[in-house]
A and B are shown apart, each in its own frame.
Chain A
Amino acid sequence: MLLKVIGVAFVTVVSYGVVKNVKPDLSVFLPMAAGAIILILLSDGIIRSIDSFRTIIEKSGVDERAYGAVLKIVGIGYITEFSANLCEDAGCSALAKKIELAGKITVLLTAMPIVTGVIDVIGDLM
């Protein structure tokens, strides 16, 4: 699987070089397509690791909501990092910073219920 990803990456770099000096305005789409292909190649690995984490979580008795929130935050982090790097490659790094800001805010919103839950538990203990 790793070799397949490396192969796709090399092919994209070569074709990016070719398209860049032949047709600069189409060269933005190549990294996007490569990112999508690489994720689809990795998707079964990611699914397997998520399932193994889920079995560990069930054994340890932590409630499902926390794990769901953690998973969501990981997903948001990945999407934000993917599109931020894409915008940086395309040359507009200001836009990348905006996307990172949006990602941080979304993560904060997703994590807020968990934090309030923990604070309530601590409050009850007092």
Chain B
Amino acid sequence: MGIDVIFKIAGIGIVTAVINNILEKSDKKEIATLVTLAALVIVLSLVVNMLGDFFGTLKAMFNLY
């Protein structure tokens, strides 16, 4: 639990951009959009898990609901 999550998200962003460029050069635009979608889903699940723990700690700390 630290900065590695941020680096992971940045890395996924950069890798997707590179893959998109390659796919566009070899004129396979539809696969490029699929790659972007896949990256978005991966990062979304990563961040949603983190937000789940985040709200869990908050709930435990301030004994909300």
Contact = CB atoms under 8 A, between A and B. Distances in A.
A43 B61 contact: yes
A33 B4 CA distance: 10
B58 to A, nearest CB: 6
Interface in A72-126: 72, 74-76, 78-79
Interface in A41-94: 43, 46-47, 50, 68, 71-72, 74-76, 78-79
A71 B63 CA distance: 8
Interface in A2-33: 7-8, 11-12, 15, 18-19, 22-23, 25-27, 29-30, 32-33
B54 A40 contact: yes
Interface in B18-46: 36, 39-40, 43-44, 46
Q: Could you say which interface size class chain B belongs to?
A: 20 to 34
Contact of B6 (A23, A33, A72, A75): A33
Contacts of A27: 13
Contacts of B50: 32-33, 36-37
B38 to A, nearest CB: 12
Contacts of B39: 23, 26
A23 B14 contact: yes
A39 B58 CA distance: 9
Interface of A: 7-8, 11-12, 15, 18-19, 22-23, 25-27, 29-30, 32-37, 39-40, 43, 46-47, 50, 68, 71-72, 74-76, 78-79
